[in-house]
Amino acid sequence: MQEEKKKDVILETTPDAVRMGKTLVRTARSAALATIEPGTGWPIATRVGVSTDFDGTPIILISKLAAHTPALLADPRCSLLVGYPGKGDPLAHARMSLACEAREVERDSEEHQRLDNRYLCHQQKAKLYSSLGDFRYFRLEVKSASLNGGFGKAFALTREDLINANPANPELAMTEPSAVEHMNDDHTEAVGLYAEHFARAPAGNWRLVGVDAEGMDLVDGDDVRRVWFETELTSSKDMHMTLVRMAGEARRALNRPLKDARTAS
């Protein structure tokens, strides 16, 4: 009987629940990381900076001098808690606990360089220490997740729910750095339009910090917003065409005149 009642607490997974979980991970700048202390077996928790790989896998950059690094190397099982409390009761705000298996990334590898580019775009202050020899990236390979969207909104999510396996990911990942740089250098108006229209954000100094197959990430100071595409991208050309189309759609919706012909291309 008790087991049946426990199962009733977990709601059927819906597209909205999956979208909420993915948004919590994509917009996180920090998270609580729980590891298993070598020798004692006791759980230890700390706060870490976090970003995501192109497919949505959480990535962290940590020093070998930190207690949680030898813990992950001894036992890669860990848990990552994402989501921030807002005003009022902190338990009324969405959060998600991910069960993960950590994998250290070789420092001189191509994978390290790719993760470094993406992480530092999200976490610019990490440039102060990312080049230090004792820092390493870890990919936290998601196994499952528990999503709490607020009181009475509990969901059990799978790896397949959260990690994007689009076959165009490798091509899109190669295009992303130049696309982000191009948009921030030459099309700042369009980036602001994305934030105001699609993310319902106030006007500000918005920057594009990531474009993946499912959407884009925008930041203005400590404000982080996720904008989802209507359909997943299929190629680098599709990325370009989608960003142009969305800029035009936002401009029309917000009744903004075209200031510069470059903002449309």
Beta bridge partners, 242, equal none
Higher per-residue confidence, 98 vs 91: 98
pLDDT band at 84 (very low <50, low <70, confident <90, very high): confident
d(CA 48, CA 264): 38
Same fold? 9-162, 169-253: no
Superfamily holding 9-162: Electron Transport, Fmn-binding Protein; Chain A (2.30.110.10)
Share of the chain above pLDDT 70, in %: 95
pLDDT band at 263 (very low <50, low <70, confident <90, very high): very low
d(CA 60, CA 169): 20
d(CA 246, CA 194): 7
Contact (CB, 8 A) for 240 and 260: no
Among 35-49, 81-95, 203-217, the least confident range: 81-95
Q: Taking Cα atoms as reference points, which of 224, 229, 227, 199 lies closest to residue 214?
A: 229
**Strand pairing category for 135-148 and 154-158:** antiparallel
Question: Is pLDDT at 235 greater than 90 in this prediction?
Answer: yes
- Give the pLDDT score at 260: 53
In the chain, where the domains are located: 9-162, 169-253
What is the CATH topology of the domain spanning 169-253? Split barrel-like (3.20.180)
Q: Tell me the per-residue pLDDT of 175-200, one tens digit each, with 9 for 90 and over.
A: 999 999 999 999 999 999 999 999 99
* Residues in Cβ contact with 140 at an 8 Å cutoff, skipping those fewer than 6 apart: 57, 58, 59, 60, 78, 80, 98, 100, 101, 102
Q: What is the pTM of this model?
A: 0.91
